[in-house]
Structure 1
Amino acid sequence: LEGYESIRNEVRYGKNSRIDILLEGPARPPCYVEIKNVTLSRRPGHAEFPDAATARGLKHLDELAAMARSGARAVMFYLVQRGDAKNFAIASDIDPAYHAAWINARAAGVETMAWSCHITPHEIELDRALPVAAPPQNG
């Protein structure tokens, strides 16, 4: 996500949506970044999203996929607010529709990034990129 000159927040796009971050710069396509907060962990070291069915999250994936198909760069960024996470996956059993939309969004060119955070009483800062579990081959 480096190398862009302009960073704008809450920019309107798509069908009555707002993107969390729009990155822009000369000689490169705009980059639409949607950020999802992740706190769910049902197994040690394994972070998951969503923790409940999310119609809004589904809409965001569909909007990002449309942007990617139009030639823009589109990124779904999962901000894992747990210091113990070692990897990240979509919780397909919690929201199968979101999981299907995530697979379709990836096929359309939407990038997936997941980062863990270092959390202290004084700050929360990005720590490291986490591996993202690939969708099942039959999905």
Structure 2
Amino acid sequence: MEYFPALQPARLIKRYKRFLADVITPQGETLTIHCANTGAMTGCATPGDTVWYSTSDSLTRKYPHSWELTQTQQGHWICVNTLRANQLVREAIQADIITSLTGYTSLQAEVKYGAERSRIDFLLQADNRRNCYIEVKSVTLLERGKGYFPDAVTVRGQKHLRELAKIAENGERAVLFFAVLHSGIEDVSPARHIDAQYAELLAQAQQSGTEILCYKAQFSPDGLSLQKSLEVKL
């Protein structure tokens, strides 16, 4: 995934109202930019960090600039735009980077499924193969040198695990895909200390046959790509 036009840097003043952040450019101009991440963003939004933002040419947007990356004062890169995780996974599947997900002829996004009226991020299909349901989660929480998901209690995420477990029990492929969008993370574990129910459901989903994949992004202000497979420690 390439950023075009190239991202621009600014220093973070503060994030507020979940969707907004104030930054100051190298030229001294203060901008209010849009933040597409409604989560806790723990460790991703420290005042003084470098924000890399994109600019839309849409004439209807109130805030034309969007927060894409954080470059922390510790030297880490983080993709805070949660919309990018699905884009990166789609590109990696189509480029055959995810070896366990090759050989499918059809990829559909946001397909309705499940007893709890969910939408799966991606549905892969091919003749004479089981359907493959893929739920994507963006991982950005780094604590004490370890990566964790989620960074806040996620009722929605719990529902997705129940749905995936049912898919696997019914004989189809169910995949939970962790897209690691933090350069400092080298392995991922469920954040039991944050959402114990999610951690328990994750273990149950795996026991039911749900596959867990984890790939880490390679970062630059010019673009992102998923390249490196990481271990998930349950």
**TM class by smaller structure:** over 0.9
Counterpart mapping for 1:20-99 below 5 A = 20-44=121-145, 46-99=146-199
Q: CA offsets, 1:26-81, max 9 Å, x none?
A: 1110000000011000022x211000000000000000000000010000001010
The two structures, once aligned, show a CA RMSD in angstroms of 0.8
Q: 2:17 matched to 1:17?
A: no
Unaligned runs of 5+ in 1: none
Shift of 1:105: 0.2
Structure 1 distance, partners of 2:144, 2:134, is: 28
Q: Percent identity?
A: 41
**TM-score for the superposition, normalised by structure 2:** 0.56
Larger Rg: 2
8 A Cα contact 1:114 1:131, kept in partner:
yes
> Aligned with 2:148: secondary structure?
strand
Q: 2:220 matched to 1:120?
A: yes
The 4+ residue runs of structure 1 with deviation greater than 2 A are: none
Q: CA offsets, 1:75-95, max 9 Å, x none?
A: 000101012221111111110
Q: Which has the higher contact order (CA 8 A, sep 6+)?
A: 1
**TM-score for the superposition, normalised by structure 1:** 0.93
> Aligned with 2:188: secondary structure?
strand
8 A Cα contact 1:11 1:20, kept in partner:
yes
Between Structure 1 and Structure 2, how many residues are aligned? 133
